[in-house]
Structure 1
Amino acid sequence: MSKHNALGRGLGSLLSSSESQYEKALPENQGAQGRKEALEVEIGSVRPNPWQPRKTFDKEKLAELAASIQEHGIIQPLIVRRKGLNYELVAGERRLRAARLAKLKTVPVLVRDYTEQQMQELALVENIQRRDLNPLEEAQAIKDLMKTMNYTQAQVADRIGRSRTAVANLLRMLNLPAPVRKMVSDGTVTAGQIRPVLALDTKEKQTALAEAIVQHGWSARTAEDVVKAVKEGTSLKVLEERSDAVFAEAAAAPADKGNGKGEAGKDGKGKKARRKDQKGRTALADVHYKQFEDDLVGFLGTKVRIVPKNDNVGTIEIDYYSADDLDRLCELLQGRPGAENKGGSGSAGVPWLRPKFNV
């Protein structure tokens, strides 16, 4: 079952009926019957949902929606509940904001009866289903829901149709340093790219790695490999330069104290230490090669493997699937204009001519 299909399980657990009022009321599922039930109410009488987890709204898209509403009106009614003499929004935050931009005096609404708990949970589930939340907004909404309803991670995961692991990872992102959280919020990095950062033990290291991910465009896989290398005690020069050598301590491989005999005792390094150093170099090389593989795959639009024989020598294997595909690859490798339009993903420049990161 896919992640988003699983979310229906969360809706089903909120309300007693399998064909819940909420599912009928959601704008994307509403039919002609729902339109007949709609009331026209003054826009000023509709208050925002206090549990709305979404904090940022695209101004350009809101303006486009407002223009559409001015021309066609609101096709899908807002979902509200009664609150005293007024109404409280359940679903339709974007339409309400756009209607205000369009200077509408009234809006169509469907009135439903929801508890505070249902309001909070439905606001979260609706946004998750529509993929409207960035990861930090989703994490904060889950945290608020747990606090308000005294839920455990397992309980909230079941309520919103997410795995417990996914919920735990989201909540951990709230502990990231402020600069890293901003990168996630504004979309500079994805949740997948930044998740490996959580494994580092200091905020300085987390910030340094996040900055390096942005600077070098590292994929999530490469970020995981970098974290693995760091945790094994290997230095990464690019991170040290950007963070005043916060990885310097990890850079020094532990010396073999020896037993007072032979070479190991004299210089503090024996076979064990040399094996550790070699392991560190191999881990860094793997990170380096995998990043170049990712760059080449993106540039050439086909499978690529870098097979090192030692630190300086190796082979690059590039797959092709027809004579035309081979011609396309040859043109790309020779830098002929227009080759990227024949099937590759294209690039502003050849990946291996970009500034390298040091390892």
Structure 2
Amino acid sequence: MGYGAYETTGDILDTANSGSTLSNDAVVDPVKYLRSFNYGRVSTLPDGTTLREFTLVADDRQTKEITPGVQYNVWTFNGTVPGPTLRATEGDLMRIIFINNGTMAHNIHTHGIHKAEMDGVFETVNPGGRFVYEFYAEHFGVYPYHCHVQPLESHISHGLHGVYIVDPKTPRPPADEMVMIMNGFDTDFDTENNFYAVNSIPFYYMHHPIEIEKGKLVRIYLVNMLEFDQINSFHLHGNLYNLYPTGTSLVPNELTDMVTMSQGERAILEFTYNYTGVYMFHAHKTEFAEKGWTGLFNVKDSSENDIKTATASFGEK
């Protein structure tokens, strides 16, 4: 891509930064995942409550490509890392049918408000087993979900994590919405990450810039699921964004171009670009950026008819 030099060192990193296309066994399709939301199988209960049913299947037997030429034993929800983005409206009843197709015990812990027996900590689901989690989407916000079986860092770092979004009853303003999960991979198992990324594939959004429309509101649901490193960050070039920590407020906390997050933290970022061009976003820790956690936004004028911003939704809103 003709967006200037961005150099790294080392054979693996040079391969990751080569711009090669991913194979069919890649751990995720970063383009599809970015704007995909799963609203579940929707029905209405006798009392008028909206019921949303989801099925999450864990599997720890898969070896997939995490960057061109690098295969890794990923542990997945529904076959990808990250797992699907679950979405509901405040007050909906969530029913998550969890099936363990792996070789070891797994479960699902969802951040947020729910009863103790639905917390996904004390119960484990053995291989071949299943468990049904049921709880109300009680407060709007952005919540991670992940396996909570010990050793916790192993289950999360191998890929058993995803995002759960609860929308307020009065919807937020229309926007080009995206999900970005900051994560990484320890491929030599020394408790230090070899690769960093948003949505699992190092450098992918550098070689395939995210297209957005000039003057249109962009909303990013940002979650830090990185293991082995205590903090992560998101820096935006050429702009500032409104920051909503945890997404539990309709009023932004601050206007900034840089946020630092510890493990499990999340936020909503909202911004609009008023000038066309190519703008970088990345972790503001050089090591993370040089090992894959960097990308580009390609801001186009609305008159350009090839802007790719389609959202993939599954189930009913």
Could you say whether these structures have the same fold, taking a TM-score greater than 0.5 normalized by the shorter chain as the test?
A: no
TM-score, normalising length: structure 1: 0.26
Higher helix share: 1
Larger Rg: 1
TM-score, normalising length: structure 2: 0.28
For CA contacts below 8 A with separation 6 or more, give which structure has more relative contact order. 2
